[in-house]
Amino acid sequence: MVDRLRPAYHFLPPSNWMNDPNGLIQWRGRYHLFDQYNPNGAFHGTIHWGHAVTDDLVHWRDLPLALAPTPDGPDKDGVYSGCAVDRDGVPMLMYTGIRPQVQCIAEPVDPADPDLVAWRKHPANPVIPEPPAGVEVEGFRDPFVWREADGWYCAIGSGVNDVGGAIFLYRSPDLVRWEYLNELCRGDVVESGRMWECPSFLPLGGKHVLLISPIPLRKVLYLVGEYRDHRFTPERIGIVDDGGAYYAPQVTRDERGRWLMWGWLREGRDVEAQKAAGWSGVMSLPTVLSLTADGRLAVRPVPELEALRGPHRGWSDLDLAEGGPNPLAELSGDRLEIALAIEPADADEIGLSVLRSPDGAEETRIVYDVAAGELWVDRARASLDPGPSRERRGAAARLPPDGTLSLRVYVDGSVVEVFAADGTCLSSRVYPTRGDSRGVELRARGGRARARRVDAWTIGTIWTEAARTIPAAGS
């Protein structure tokens, strides 16, 4: 039986649980994506590192599990999140072992293998055995490593009890011997959570950007500011993606100099539903990062995704009015990309519905509030199942001087990702129950609007093999 809710062009393993993206690296032209994976079921536990590769950011191959817990080792209770770097021609992984939380490294058995299938853990593990002395912390995990002129640097996510989230900064000559330097940055428990998970730290547009996933906010924040003398001073804070599903992203710089990012799209249904489906967790589409002229973080889908486009339909100069006919009545599907440009005219709201049943009992609405300047994903009627989340989630989205709303919307089973031209993005999970919830409706409310152009494509699968199995885990 085909699972209509299972995405076809977003990455996820063949079965079971997946969460954070890990170890992102382009190695000898091939992109590697590792992830938090449970080989024992569609629930969080017994965390290993899954592994997949792509040559084009579009089509993927699954590989054997890269890292598994070592009995009686520092990662015996789980191989948690981390990163990958190129150490003088040898790719290296750095990750967290838990109970207690410590930092470990691993290297490939054969660095010449383009797939980097087999990995071995370093005998010096744990290379960072404990948090800084004298600090009461909540969490000490998710290392992110980069290189500067005087050595390797590592940012570790944490929180100072009763104070707020913090990032601890370490330095090493060889990834094995580490010294603690200072706090890279600290937050306030009220404004930015009590513990900062999954940091990424990168130079971008003449500034530095720190990405954090704060507990208990359940969303990703970005901080833009200055990095000097081993300290980061934020000047601006914003939300990376406030669609309700996006969490724990990681970045990597590819051979073209682009900063690419993937995030984990969490499920919006309960654990029993995930177990019944046999899978849980999806990666976002790969995106490229930039800073806008006014210093905001912009997130846009990579252009390579256009290779997935299949049959196309297009419309031009469509007049929209509340209660008028739906000009996209003949468009339907649950594996779509839709690009649209709409002039609001005097309408209060403009947008479209996807995964819509003919009677409108189920639909996911994507709405732009013209007066407020806000883009929303409204899931109030996304599913007749009372279990999944029905939150309405949104963010400010700026229109260009001509006032045209330009969106790219990706629909893939239970995933809806929306990208606005200004770099705003909203990623959501929805779970329609009806087989006919496949329609698309273009709409205006409170006045008239004009759709200058609408293009829609049926999207194919990202998988190069029909059957995929996960081999036994490495040691």
pLDDT in tens, 394-426: 999 999 999 999 999 999 999 999 999 999 999
Q: For residue 401, what are the contacts with CB-CB under 8 A and spacing of at least 6?
A: none
What does pLDDT average to over the chain?
Answer: 95
- 450 neighbors 320 (Cβ within 8 angstroms): yes
Q: For residue 303, what are the contacts with CB-CB under 8 A and spacing of at least 6?
A: none
Domains of the chain, earliest start first: 16-301 (2.115.10.20), 305-459 (2.60.120.560)
Provide the pLDDT confidence category of residue 467 given band limits of 50, 70 and 90. very low
Q: How many Cβ atoms from other residues are within 10 Å of residue 296's Cβ?
A: 18
Tell whether pTM > 0.85.
yes
Provide the pLDDT confidence category of residue 1 given band limits of 50, 70 and 90. low
pLDDT of residue 183: 97
Catalytic, out of 3, 20, 62, 115: 20
Does position 474 have pLDDT exceeding 50, yes or no?
A: no
Is 317 catalytic? The answer is: no
pLDDT in tens, 350-381: 999 999 999 999 999 999 999 999 999 999 99
pLDDT in tens, 235-254: 999 999 999 999 999 999 99
Bridge pairing between strands 279-280 and 16-27: parallel
The number of C-alpha atoms within 13 Å of 190 and in the hemisphere containing its C-beta is 0
Bridge pairing between strands 392-396 and 374-378: antiparallel
Longest Cα separation, the chain: 69
pLDDT in tens, 308-335: 999 999 999 999 999 999 999 999 999 9
pLDDT in tens, 10-28: 999 999 999 999 999 999 9
Q: For residue 219, what are the contacts with CB-CB under 8 A and spacing of at least 6?
A: 213, 239, 240, 241, 242, 246, 247
pLDDT in tens, 124-156: 999 999 999 999 999 999 999 999 999 999 999
d(CA 205, CA 222): 14
Partnered with residue 114 across adjacent β-strands are none
- 66 neighbors 58 (Cβ within 8 angstroms): no
d(CA 161, CA 98): 19
